[in-house]
Amino acid sequence: MISVKMNPIKFIAVFSIILIAASGCQPSDSDKDILMIKTVNGPVEAGEIGFTLSHEHLMSNFGLPIEETDDYDEEALYSQVMPYANQIKELGVETLFDYTTAYFGRRVDILQKIADSTSIRIVTNTGIYGAADNRYIPEYAYGETPEELAARWIDEFENGIDGTEIRPGFMKLAIDSGEPSEIDQKLFEAGVITHLEIGLTIAVHTGDNIEAVQAQLEILDKYGVSPEAWIWTHANWHEDTDFLLSVAEKGGWISLDGVREDNLDEYISRLKLFRDAGLLHKVLLSHDGDAWPMGDEIRPFQAIMTHLVPAMRENGFSEEEIIQIFTKNPGGAYGIRVRKSK
């Protein structure tokens, strides 16, 4: 199904090493200055993550009732997901950020098995998904303060998830459409408090909800946290690129995460606008694919490697710009550190 005879991405990995060596930006300061990413198999230097998909799902049970979402037919899952993950690896992917949250299918033990078997670095998340009409918000979240919710997420970071040693590498939250609800704002505040404590990046399913963008920027400001700590997830749903650029200008990460083989033109033209504005360094690209969507057929996540990167080259994007988007930007966005605004 997928042609792997040409691998345009492995070239990038080699080129990336040459560039890093040539620019002398190998980490040379003290250890505390080295930016780290936390994978399901432990920490990795942000400069070492290689070609990265910044928003995918290796599996999810999005759609099932909340109490059933961590239950998988593991044998069937592995037989579908492992070969696909191996194909993704063969296409040059070295690191993948998995966006399936607790309460709609996060299973860090399964993610670790996939990481071990495929040698893709996988990063999982903490947080609560507040979109989908609140169906994946657990009952306790309504009764707790932002500080109490933050304490749960900090505990996963410090002590491991679901009784394992596996730590989250970012936060994943989600806001419904319309005016941000009280619970969505509370979950975001909990995210900001968590960020101030442990430095995890806050990725928020926001989509086309401009009111939610404004509300999040206001809460970040209230806590003195820079928009650099925040990823506007599904920003591609919003058509006004000028507005995306204005948020990128403030420091927010713009996640254009719906790449498919049939929408390359849209992505190329948006990337050109980001390049013209000098803001390519704020863009994250991904597919939001899913290798096991409730056990259904794979929603693919290879078009970036097979189609978009070649199209970027045809449209004059340099190797350095491609490395910027697929390696340096994820490293910068997810590298763990507290980002205060002042």
Give the type of residue at 253.
W
* Residue 95 three-state SS: strand
- Closest listed residue to residue 253, CA positions, set 225, 220, 278, 279: 279
Per CB under 5 A, which of residues 140..159 are in contact with Zn ion? none
- Closest listed residue to residue 326, CA positions, set 9, 5, 27: 9
* Residue 197 three-state SS: helix
170 in contact with Zn ion (CB under 5 A): no
Give the type of residue at 201.
T
Q: How far is the CB of 34 from Zn ion (least distance, A)?
A: 29
Q: How far is the CB of 57 from Zn ion (least distance, A)?
A: 6
**According to CB under 5 A, which one of 99, 292, 317, 326 is a site residue for Zn ion?**
99
The residues near 115 (Cβ < 8 Å, ≥ 6 apart) are 39, 40, 41, 121, 122
Residue (230 or 317) nearer to Zn ion, CB: 230
Residue (132 or 151) nearer to Zn ion, CB: 132
- Closest listed residue to residue 251, CA positions, set 335, 337, 333, 334: 333
Q: How far is the CB of 47 from Zn ion (least distance, A)?
A: 26
288 in contact with Zn ion (CB under 5 A): yes
Scanning 16-24, 29-37, 86-94, 97-105 for contacts with Zn ion by CB under 5 A, the matching segment is 97-105
Scanning 8-16, 91-99, 269-277, 330-338 for contacts with Zn ion by CB under 5 A, the matching segment is 91-99
Scanning 83-91, 120-128, 277-285, 287-295 for contacts with Zn ion by CB under 5 A, the matching segment is 287-295
Give the type of residue at 260.
R
With CB under 5 A, what is the number of residues at the site for Zn ion? 2
Residue (288 or 321) nearer to Zn ion, CB: 288
For 129, list phi and psi in degrees, rounded to 5: -85, 110
Check: CB of residue 54 under 8 Å from CB of residue 285: yes
Residue (236 or 241) nearer to Zn ion, CB: 236
Strands of 95-98's sheet, edge to edge? Answer: 52-56, 95-98, 121-123
Residue (92 or 105) nearer to Zn ion, CB: 105
Residue (57 or 339) nearer to Zn ion, CB: 57
Scanning 84-92, 110-118, 169-177, 285-293 for contacts with Zn ion by CB under 5 A, the matching segment is 285-293
Handedness of CA 198, 203, 205, 211 (dihedral sign): positive
292 in contact with Zn ion (CB under 5 A): no
For 290, list phi and psi in degrees, rounded to 5: -150, 120
Scanning 133-141, 149-157, 192-200, 288-296 for contacts with Zn ion by CB under 5 A, the matching segment is 288-296
> If you count them, how many residues does the chain have?
342
Q: How far is the CB of 298 from Zn ion (least distance, A)?
A: 14
Give the residues lining the site for Zn ion (CB under 5 A): 99, 288
